[in-house]
């Protein structure tokens, strides 16, 4: 079975968008994955196909109606559909690489994109949708977030990337940012490549890259650095130290 993404959105023209180009686009053409984007407005109410209404309790903006969302979902998701239902919302928990890895192994996803102030809370609860955000910045809607989430999953599907995949995957799992990269020319606009990279000393190159990766992580991403340090401490803790081992096993980064 091919990995199947269904997107419910008011802007189906935003799909596949950038996922129609590059490796994901090639894989889409080759049938390695499938994408269906459906317009929620097709399930809207009345002559104007209304999908939203004013919020109970007052306040600014509009809320997407639960009946409309429920009808749209019923139309595009069979009762026995095993795919996780994800609602893209700034109120969601942050997307992680572990999510992408888990979802890439499954049959696909059903993605619900909100506009306006979002969905009526009752339809989120009744459907059991998983609420996911892609970061702490304000987007115009869930669609660009859905594209990001899909990209993260697609590059993990067998055959989508050039094959180098899983070994390279370890580098983010290792918990450090990457070291900086250089190529020819060895000197450019008065800037030299770090001499160690031209030395042929592979031990020294490995050490330099490790140092640069640690420096970058420490200064740019103190959150990742703290997680990396506790991982490193856990790795060095004696297995005989039972208390330490148990505490470490349950405390993921």
Q: Does 151 bind ligand 9D3 (CB under 6 A)?
A: no
**Residue showing tokens 């640690």:** 214
Q: Which of 25, 55, 66, 141 binds ligand 9D3 (CB under 6 A)?
A: 141
| 135 scored as a contact of ligand 9D3 (CB under 6 A) | yes
Q: How far apart are CA 148 and CA 177, in angstroms?
A: 19
Q: Which SS3 state, helix, strand or coil, does residue 216 take?
A: helix
Tell me the site size for ligand 9D3, rule CB under 6 A.
15
Q: Does 133 bind ligand 9D3 (CB under 6 A)?
A: yes
Of 126, 132, 44, residue with least CA distance to 95: 132
- Minimum Å distance from CB 154 to ligand 9D3? 18
Smallest distance, ligand 9D3 to C-beta of residue 71, A: 21
Tell me if 88 contacts ligand 9D3 by CB under 6 A. Answer: yes
DSSP string for 11-63: -GGGSSGGGGSHHHHHHHHTTSEEEEEEEGGGG-BTTTTB-EEPPTT--SS-E
Residue with smaller CB distance to ligand 9D3, 146 or 160: 146
CA–CA gap between residue 208 and residue 198 (Å, rounded): 12
Strand, helix or coil for residue 207: helix
Check binding of 131 to ligand 9D3 (CB under 6 A).
Answer: no
Q: Which residues of 102-114 are buried (b: 16+ CB within 10 A; e: fewer)?
A: ebbeeebbbbbbb
Cβ pair 110, 8 in contact under 8 A: yes
Q: Which is nearer to ligand 9D3, 147 or 154 (CB)?
A: 147
Among 69, 109, 124, 145, binds ligand 9D3 (CB under 6 A): 145
Within the chain, residue ranges assigned H as helices are: 22-29, 66-76, 97-105, 121-127, 143-154, 165-173, 202-220, 222-236, 242-250
* Window contacting ligand 9D3 (CB under 6 A); options: 70-78, 120-128, 137-145, 186-194: 137-145
Question: Going residue by residue from 181 to 220, which x/- string records binding to ligand 9D3, judged by CB under 6 A?
Answer: ----------------------------------------
Rounded-to-integer distance, Cα 216 and Cα 253, Å:
18
Stretch that binds ligand 9D3, among 10-18, 71-79, 87-95, 219-227 (CB under 6 A): 87-95
Cβ proximity to ligand 9D3: between 49 and 93 the closer is: 93
Q: Which of 78, 82, 138, 240 binds ligand 9D3 (CB under 6 A)?
A: 138
Which 92-121 residues touch ligand 9D3, going by CB under 6 A? Answer: 114, 117-118
List residues binding ligand 9D3 (CB under 6 A). 88-90, 114, 117-118, 133-135, 137-139, 141-142, 145
């Amino acid at each position: 079975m091919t990995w199947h993404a269904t997107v419910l959105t008011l802007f189906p023209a935003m799909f596949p968008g950038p996922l129609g180009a590059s490796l994901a686009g090639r894989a889409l053409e080759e049938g390695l994955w499938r994408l269906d984007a459906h317009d929620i407005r097709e399930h809207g109410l009345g002559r104007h196909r209304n999908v939203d209404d004013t919020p109970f309790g007052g306040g600014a903006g509009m809320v997407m109606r639960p009946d409309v969302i429920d009808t749209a979902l019923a139309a595009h998701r069979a009762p026995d559909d095993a795919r996780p239902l994800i609602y893209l919302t700034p109120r969601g928990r942050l997307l992680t690489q572990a999510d992408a890895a888990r979802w890439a192994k499954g049959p696909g996803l059903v993605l619900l994109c909100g506009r306006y102030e979002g969905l009526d809370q009752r339809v989120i609860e009744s459907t059991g949708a998983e609420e996911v955000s892609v970061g702490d910045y304000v987007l115009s809607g869930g669609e660009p977030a859905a594209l990001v989430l899909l990209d993260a999953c697609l590059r993990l599907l067998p055959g989508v990337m050039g094959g180098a995949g899983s070994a390279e995957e370890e580098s983010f799992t290792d918990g450090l940012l990457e070291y900086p990269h250089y190529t020819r020319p060895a000197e450019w606009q008065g800037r030299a490549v770090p001499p160690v990279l031209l030395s042929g000393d592979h031990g020294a190159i490995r050490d330099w890259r490790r140092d640069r990766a640690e420096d970058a992580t420490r200064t740019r991403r103190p959150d990742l650095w703290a997680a990396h340090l506790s991982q490193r401490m856990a790795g060095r803790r004696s297995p005989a130290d039972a208390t330490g081992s148990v505490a470490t096993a349950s405390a993921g980064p």
